Amino acid sequence: MKALVLLREVLDATLPLEPGDGQGPRVKGQEAIRVLNPADRAALEWACRLRQGEITALTVGPPEVEGILRLALARGASRAIRAWVGGMEGSDAPALARLLALAVDRLGPDLVLTGDRSLEGGTGLVPGLLAARLGWPHLDGATHLGRDGGRIVVRRRLERGWREEVEATPPVVVAVEAGSIEPRYVSVRVRREALARPLEVWGAAHLGVDVAAVKGWVRSEVASLDWPRPRPRRVTLPDARLTAGERMRRLMTAGPTPLRTGEGRLLEGGPREIAERLVRFLEERGLL
């Protein structure tokens, strides 16, 4: 059995982001960190867990994305391919699926594994479009993969917390959820060794297309990016001078706990007196 794992490099979106100049979000105050898309990382880990014969890792992109292929080799891929055709920059999901389908035709895997969505694009369309082009079953939202003889057994997450287990005869496309498997740690030594291993680069000629045609596939592109409206109110962090236990308590309990030491005030007295002071407090601040 041969497995093909489709990978994508994304901006590490867990860092604080700010609007960039037209091209997309930018990491605040530092250089961006680009990482392997978490769902794809889970897909790769499942491929290794299944102990397939050959695991090929493939990504579409310019030379800068080769880092994730090195990581895939370190994590257990036996072969790594970077496919790239000029003109794919800013490609939409259908164009990407079309290119991937060509690669799948060349490689002839029994199982295509990928993340169910990327942190950047987030359409979640590519696995489905790819399966449709190939005419293969498409099992998305996969949270567990196994094998039963020649068949692939996939546990899928459905709406409202339902789960289903699907058995499929290869070839199939499986889209894996991020976090469905804890990836093994890969040491720096193993990562370094992966640097010495060969990477294949597939261009238009390898895929049997010409560049002009590929340009024509891309029919939509991002024109501009709007930053989300700022949140009306920030979640206030508890005072750093408090103890860890106290900070936890304040984050987890609702109620009139002072947010900063000395900031809150507790009113005492009869109901009428308190009400009057509240009204006065609000009036002083022009809120009434």
Partner 1 sequence: MEITREVWWNVPGWLALALYLGSALTVGFAVRVALGHVRRWLRGRPLTAARPLAPGRALRRVAVEVFAHRRIFEDPAAGWAHLLIFYGFLALFTGTLMVFVHDRLVPFLFGPTYLVFSLTLDLAGLAFLVGVGWALVRRFAGGPGRLPRSAEALWVLLLLGAIGASGFLLEGARIAATRPPFEVWSVVGWTIARGVIALDLPAAPLHRFLWGLHAALSCAFFALLMVTFLRHMATAPLQLLLRELRRVGALAPAPPDGGARPLAPESLSRVQLLEASACVRCGRCSAVCPATAAGKALDPRGVIRKTLRAMLEARPLDTLVTPEEAWACTTCAACVRACPFEIEVLDKLVDLRRRWVEQGAIDPGAARALEAILERGNPWGAPPGERMAWAEGLPVRVLAPGDEVEVLYWVGCAGAFDPSGRRVTRSVAQLLQRGGVEFGVLGLAESCTGDPARRMGEEGLFQEAAARVVAALGRVRFRRLLTHCAHCFHAFRNEYPALGARCETVHHTQLLAELVRAGRLQPGPALGATVTLHDPCYLARHNGESRAARTLLAGQPGLELVEMPRSRERTFCCGAGGGGNWIELRQGERIATLRMAEARATGASVVATACPFCTIMLEGETAGQGMVVRDVAELLLEGQPA
Applying CB under 8 A, which of residues 53, 108, 159, 185 lies at the interface with partner 1?
A: 185
Q: What is the x/- site pattern for partner 1, positions 123-162, by CB under 8 A?
A: ----------------------------------------
- Residue closer to partner 1 by CB (options 12, 110) is 12
Going residue by residue from 24 to 63, which x/- string records binding to partner 1, judged by CB under 8 A? ---xxxx--x-x----------------------------
163 near partner 1, rule: CB under 8 A: no
In the complex, the smallest distance separating the C-beta of residue 17 from partner 1, rounded to whole angstroms, is: 10
Q: Which range of residues in 138-146, 160-168, 186-194, 200-208 is near partner 1 by CB under 8 A? A: 186-194
Q: Which of 244, 254, 266, 287 binds partner 1 (CB under 8 A)?
A: 244
Pick the binder of partner 1 from 160, 219, 231, 241 (CB under 8 A): 241
In three-state form (DSSP H/G/I as H, E/B as E, the rest C), the secondary structure along the chain is CEEEEEECEEECCCCCEEECCCCCEEECCCCCCEEECHHHHHHHHHHHHCCCCEEEEEEECCHHHHHHHHHHHHHCCCEEEEECCCCCCCCCHHHHHHHHHHHHHHHCCCEEEEECCCCCCCCCCHHHHHHHHHCCCEEEEEEEEEEECCEEEEEEECHHHCEEEEEECCCEEEEECCCCCCCCCCCHHHHHHHHCCCCEEECHHHHCCCHHHHHHHCCCCCCCCCCCCCCCCCCCCCCCCCCHHHHHHHHHCCCCCCCCCCCCCCCCCCHHHHHHHHHHHHHHCCCC
Is residue 245 at the binding interface for partner 1, with CB under 8 A as the rule? yes
Smallest separation (angstroms) from partner 1 to the CB of 28: 6
Q: How many residues bind partner 1 (CB under 8 A)?
A: 29
To the nearest whole angstrom, how small is the minimum distance from the Cβ of residue 35 to partner 1?
7
Q: Which residue has the tokens 């005492």?
A: 268
Asked if 189 is part of the footprint of partner 1 (rule: CB under 8 A), the reply reads yes
The residues binding partner 1 (CB under 8 A) are: 12, 14-16, 27-30, 33, 35, 182-192, 240-241, 243-247, 249
